Structure 1
């Protein structure tokens, strides 16, 4: 019983550290943030912090994984498992995904920052995220096929094409800032219009 109590207490402390570390990384960036900053924000000594995490890289990896899991869970709850029609699901998927990425600075930094690409875990996270994204889009496309809304022979290539299109919007919104967040829906609707109906005059 006592062991379980200790385990729960340690888990709570780890979550507190990750919550504070997320804010530290968001403020200073991975490169400038230090274990001293994280320890201070978490209200503990640096030696205590090292008991839970052995390095800044380890803390950052845990923060990024946590943010990635939150995004996946939210997409499954609000999109994949919703009762919306498949076209609306794809639209909501993109909107929710973009808005979450805008807020989840550390996860997005791990996906796009070239400097972080030198960290061993970053490529694993990028590959896992790309794979999960494609799987979710495939599920949405298959739901559309099953309901008779989408006319597709298969979903793999189509999901790859859609994921690639999303990355273009992502770059404009989050990296180059050429699309303000409040205009995202307008640009998204134009992109989906092409996706669903093509560019040939009907």
Structure 2
């Protein structure tokens, strides 16, 4: 998947599908919907997500969204955003201990979701910086090295720019950027953006 792939964990199906529609409008791709902790852990194990939007309240079971957030932080090392109607101090204090990228309060507007994602992904990229020498060393190890243009796009992917933002930066079509991204994934033998980040870090 060449777009950012987002997993939605939300126990209200109507809200989950509304969120999916909003993300599609914002140039993101939804790799799955999970309505409870068991589904969430199953989707996470498939390792298709680049980012998780996670409801704090997930029904009446023992595991809630914050418990899932702890698993994401400890095991999967993915950026995630809490989505919640809870703003009390106790919930906020628990949430902070799992190091989310943001805490989005319901109800929210599409432009607020967009800003939250932009800030979250930008912050995550700055927490995992890579310089040009790192990328050149990484490229030299590939069986089929990236072209100069693919290297430019790789740097933009690692900066967590969307396909649309990369296209605007390089004055190219979104489809052309999508082709570059797919080629990069193929040459680097990865299936997604966060897997690509891990490969470069390695």
TM-score between the two structures when normalised by the length of structure 2: 0.28
Q: Name the larger-Rg structure.
A: 1
Higher relative contact order (CA 8 A, sep 6+): 2
Instruction: Give the helix-richer structure, 1 or 2.
Output: 1
Instruction: Give the strand-richer structure, 1 or 2.
Output: 2
TM-score between the two structures when normalised by the length of structure 1: 0.28
